[in-house]
Structure 1
Amino acid sequence: MQVEDIDMINDSKNPSPAHLLDPSPEQIRSWANAAVELMAEYLGTIRNRRVYPYTSSRQIRERLDSSLPKEPVNFDELLHTFRSTLIELSRHNGHPRMFGYVQAPGTAIAAFADLLSSTLNANLTAWRSAPAAVEIERLTIDWIKQIIGFDRDAAGLFVSGGSMANMAALAAARRAKAPPEIQNKGAQSCAKALRVYASEETHHTVAKAAALLGIGHDNVRLISVDERYKINLHELVAAIEEDRTAGHLPICVVANAGTVATGAFDPLSQIGEIARRFNLWLHVDGAYGGFAALAPSARPLFASIGEADSVALDPHKWLYLPVDCGCILYRDPEAARATFAHEAEYTRVIGQEADEAFAFWDYGPELSRRFRALIVWMLLKGVGLQALSEAIEKDLACARHFETLVQNSEDFEMLAPVELSIFCSRHLPAGLKRALAAASPSVREKIEEQLDAHNERLLLALQRDGSSYLSNARLRGRFSLRGCVMNYRTTLRDMEILLDDLRRVAAQL
């Protein structure tokens, strides 16, 4: 190809496919300036927006051009659609009163990291595929181990989220504690049913992983919880002993470092002792609460985290990062390698030193992997642990403040104690509150059902109102208004506004 041909391809006026796919630096700067201006405007006004749009699937589809695009449109038109449809008709997860689910707000520095990661387009299969990016991930994993107080020699990698982290952990537990022939011949080769133990408050992804791994959904034994929604240790021991007597094979116990319904933190030290006594793999699901280790008031909860065989974490939760960025840590790297390492000529590493022969595919289920580590690395380097520690501590304080507001009120009550940043309450209309206090046991359940229905209506009305957003949970059979503070923008005043919003909306029911 001649030089003039190359110049023609790079000519900004040339409508060739190469021009559209490989724009000039000037064109890239023009797009970037427009996109960053929109980003700055959005983040600068997010507090003033409705948390949730009042919209429908039909309304959104009507705004989108459904025809298969054969010709390109101007970049400004793409941004117009983003502004007028995606921004206006989305739930705003960065809003300070977005308390639904376990949702991080994202950060500006991570948005730029995402842009740079996609620009480099590194595929972190192995060191040879992305040398510098792999070293960034290994370094960042080392930092995370230090943050939560985990074994410095542990292995780990970034995955899509807690679902994949829990699945990888159960796969490693199965390989370590079940007969080795299962790895090649499948679960049917084992005459004994494999058993996994977890509290009834454990995230459903554990049972889902067990089903997909051939352990079986029904072989996850859900243990009852105490008055603070922590696993019942006596029942756990009894269940393990019962299964051993029945000829089953216990392999794993899952402890929660913050449940998603109430934020309860299981007693890691006692569960670790039980795991050692019965030779079980101890997995800690810290997808929600793991990074609370950065908050001084929560740090004592993590004193025994080093006893875990594996830990699931979600930087895209309490490091405030955008999805998708989860993490799995294994205390024994060889246990992970025994689970995931496979040889194939296509991927065989030839003639390199040990560090350069490193491959992430030996520690997890994925081969192709995006450069997730960059958003974590840039956040930790660009923001620092002190700022993150203060932000997480403030989240905890906001949840406790709401708990105090409710405890001092006449028209609301807490349905679970606040341990981290999740708060569960319900509204008590005066008439139903009086009826409940005077009700006989036979009548009480009917009034409770009326309260459940009332609070469910209140939740839907609050979400449609748009000023604040809560989700729901069912605790000991009762419907709960559930919220989670996970946002550096949230203040104590926002918790007061939430309670005001609930009262205002309830008065309109």
Structure 2
Amino acid sequence: MTESLQSGLLVEAFDAQLFRENAETVLSRLEKHVADLSIRGLELTDPARLRRAARALMTTERDRPAPFDEERLAAIVDLYIKTGIQVHSPGYMGRQFSGVVPLAGVIDFVSSVVNQPSSFYEAGQLPNVVERIMADELNRFIGWDPGTFAMITTSGGSLANLTALLAARNRAFPGVWARGSSELEGPARPAIAVGDDVHYSVARAAGILGIGEDRIVRLPLDAARRIDVARARPVLDAAERQGLNVFCLVASAGTTSVGAFDQLDELAVIARERDLWLHVDGAHGASLLVSDKLRPKLRGIDQVDSLAWDAHKMLFVPAPCTLLFYRDAKASLGAFRQTASYVFDEQQNIYTALDSGDKNFECTKRPMIMTLWTLWAIYGQALFAEKIEYLCQLTQDAYALVEKQPDFETVHVPEANIMCFRYRPDWLEEKDVAAFQVAIRDRIKGGGNFFISKVDVDGVAALRVVMMNHQVTTEHFQMLLGEIRKAGQEK
């Protein structure tokens, strides 16, 4: 009876031969996309127009599965590629995500087809094993004693920051998980200390945790836009006098705005003095650890309590793939405290010991570690180190070029691969500087050759480039400066 209810079109949709044909159709277009190194930026499409185009590609069949249409599939893929940010182009200098190493995309495709959620060993055996392998591999650059630390993967740096702050809060206020936010009230109100350039996800986490944005203690920055260690202690002392109980200090390894690296070794001293959990948002910059040349930027990383590290930024794998490290393996159990007999076994065995569902928010989690581990297994550390070092050197070279231009100004010395600057022709009035930079950014984006971003530095907008593509050269950056000058002359 059940067999008669299955139409031939249902069976066709799962057919292995059709799957191969689908893959070949998509692969031919992706190959062309990756090979296209022309200079192109972001072509923004009117949303209403894009909606009509997407609607036109949808079958009108409602009563039964529609027959497969290869032309429709090809058109969908073409539209998808065309309307995205062209991360493989030398014109792409705008954001912190990268064109992936193509092999990583292939492995992500495998993960999508075999569909092995990886929070539990029985559902994703290899992902759980290689997660432990990659933890050990990357800890060689962090420096914790083997067997004493823990690492889990999670979906993005924002969720990693939230998870680490949950663990820190629960350590400081162990009753809050069971009894709720009433445990956070009292004469000493819980608070989090952050650098003034901290990522917005930390402020969000404070709200979610019941701490509140008003209890975020913002530490002043030095000239390099790092937490000013000399002025941090007085600010923390003032917070204590105001009745705030700071339990966690959040530092940055590569701030989103300018790519600044806080002095982790010196902040660790402050954290030890005051019994603070020291968390590092290294979503962007932690990847410099894999480079022998650049690793000193994170001096003191072995002294922190937790570290968020986005592999989908500077390790060039598909998003999301975030690694959350804890110096103390036991601390990784502090973020969540549930019992659920359908997934959690009270008595561990050699299989359930590798489960991570009790340590990360997701129950169903993509096997994101597979892309990173496969690249590491095939190419090794040097692939990543070489690209990262090139991008950082390219940014230094771009900075030197801007410094020589009389009509441009730099606003910081780049520490990695993010650089912010302003176009300031001599006729530009001071009151118009900020709005002019935004207008330049918009005109560059509209021109279709380059994609750059903007950020406010000291309250004034600046142009921002993020070097994520090793196909970009100083010649491409000089072309960008020419486009900026041209855009500045438009009325």
TM range (shorter): over 0.9
Q: Which one of 10, 21, 32 corresponds to residue 30 of structure 1?
A: 21
1:427 Cα deviation from its structure 2 partner: 0.7
Q: Identify the residue that residue 457 of structure 1 maps to in structure 2.
A: 439
Distance 1:162 1:408, change over 3 A: same
* d(CA) in 2 for partners of 1:248, 1:69: 62
1:150 Cα deviation from its structure 2 partner: 4.6
1:379 Cα deviation from its structure 2 partner: 1.7
Matches within 5 A, 1:70-469: 70=62, 71-72=65-66, 74-152=68-146, 153-178=148-173, 180-190=174-184, 191=186, 192-349=188-345, 353-354=349-350, 356-432=352-428, 447-469=429-451
1:54 Cα deviation from its structure 2 partner: 4.1
* d(CA) in 1 for partners of 2:464, 2:477: 13
Q: Which amino acid aligns with 1:107?
A: V
SS state at 1:361 partner: coil
Distance 1:304 1:151, change over 3 A: farther
Q: Deviations over 1:162-190 (max 9, x none)?
A: 10010001001101123x11121122223
* d(CA) in 2 for partners of 1:213, 1:365: 14
* d(CA) in 1 for partners of 2:347, 2:165: 33
Q: Which amino acid aligns with 1:335?
A: A
SS state at 1:235 partner: helix
- Asked if structure 2 preserves the Cα contact closer than 8 Å seen for 1:284 and 1:308, the reply is yes
Bigger Cα displacement from structure 2, 206-215 vs 489-498: 489-498
Q: Identify the residue that residue 439 of structure 1 maps to in structure 2.
A: none
Q: Which amino acid aligns with 2:138?
A: I
Bigger Cα displacement from structure 2, 394-403 vs 77-86: 77-86
* d(CA) in 2 for partners of 1:301, 1:58: 46
1:417 Cα deviation from its structure 2 partner: 1.4
* d(CA) in 2 for partners of 1:351, 1:186: 28
* d(CA) in 1 for partners of 2:336, 2:200: 23
- Asked if structure 1 preserves the Cα contact closer than 8 Å seen for 2:166 and 2:334, the reply is no
SS state at 2:217 partner: strand
SS state at 1:167 partner: helix
* d(CA) in 2 for partners of 1:337, 1:54: 44
Q: Identify the residue that residue 437 of structure 1 maps to in structure 2.
A: none
Question: Could you list the runs of 5+ residues in structure 1 that have no partner in the other structure?
Answer: 433-446
* d(CA) in 2 for partners of 1:317, 1:107: 12
* d(CA) in 1 for partners of 2:435, 2:101: 37
Q: Identify the residue that residue 440 of structure 1 maps to in structure 2.
A: none
- Asked if structure 1 preserves the Cα contact closer than 8 Å seen for 2:40 and 2:91, the reply is no
1:239 Cα deviation from its structure 2 partner: 2.3
- Asked if structure 1 preserves the Cα contact closer than 8 Å seen for 2:87 and 2:469, the reply is no
* d(CA) in 2 for partners of 1:339, 1:322: 26
1:37 Cα deviation from its structure 2 partner: 1.0
Distance 1:341 1:75, change over 3 A: farther
Q: Which amino acid aligns with 1:415?
A: V
- Asked if structure 1 preserves the Cα contact closer than 8 Å seen for 2:424 and 2:433, the reply is yes
Q: Which amino acid aligns with 2:47?
A: S
- Asked if structure 1 preserves the Cα contact closer than 8 Å seen for 2:263 and 2:299, the reply is no
Question: Could you list the runs of 5+ residues in structure 2 that have no partner in the other structure?
Answer: none
Q: Identify the residue that residue 472 of structure 1 maps to in structure 2.
A: 454
Q: Which one of 48, 55, 62 corresponds to residue 45 of structure 2?
A: 55
* d(CA) in 2 for partners of 1:74, 1:264: 51
* d(CA) in 2 for partners of 1:482, 1:316: 20
SS state at 1:240 partner: helix
1:224 Cα deviation from its structure 2 partner: 1.7
Distance 1:50 1:83, change over 3 A: farther
Matches within 5 A, 1:468-507: 468-507=450-489
1:350 Cα deviation from its structure 2 partner: 6.4
Bigger Cα displacement from structure 2, 398-407 vs 93-102: 93-102
* d(CA) in 2 for partners of 1:49, 1:150: 44
* d(CA) in 2 for partners of 1:361, 1:351: 15
SS state at 1:320 partner: coil
* d(CA) in 2 for partners of 1:364, 1:33: 36
Q: What's the % identity of the aligned pairs?
A: 26
Distance 1:337 1:351, change over 3 A: closer
1:355 Cα deviation from its structure 2 partner: 5.3
SS state at 1:227 partner: coil
Q: Deviations over 1:341-385 (max 9, x none)?
A: 422222232665345433202212221111111111112122321
Backbone CA RMSD of aligned residues:
2.2
Distance 1:150 1:392, change over 3 A: farther
SS state at 2:334 partner: helix
Distance 1:78 1:315, change over 3 A: farther
- Asked if structure 1 preserves the Cα contact closer than 8 Å seen for 2:268 and 2:303, the reply is yes
* d(CA) in 2 for partners of 1:265, 1:408: 25
Distance 1:487 1:150, change over 3 A: farther
TM-score of the two chains, using structure 1 as the length reference: 0.90
Bigger Cα displacement from structure 2, 482-491 vs 255-264: 482-491
Q: Which one of 10, 31, 42 corresponds to residue 17 of structure 1?
A: 10
Q: Deviations over 1:231-287 (max 9, x none)?
A: 122332122222323332110001110101111100001100000000000000100
* d(CA) in 1 for partners of 2:286, 2:69: 40
Q: Which one of 62, 65, 84 corresponds to residue 55 of structure 2?
A: 65
Distance 1:299 1:352, change over 3 A: closer
SS state at 1:340 partner: coil
SS state at 2:76 partner: helix
SS state at 1:261 partner: coil
* d(CA) in 2 for partners of 1:419, 1:135: 35
TM-score of the two chains, using structure 2 as the length reference: 0.93
Distance 1:93 1:241, change over 3 A: same
1:93 Cα deviation from its structure 2 partner: 2.2
SS state at 2:95 partner: coil
- Asked if structure 2 preserves the Cα contact closer than 8 Å seen for 1:401 and 1:495, the reply is no
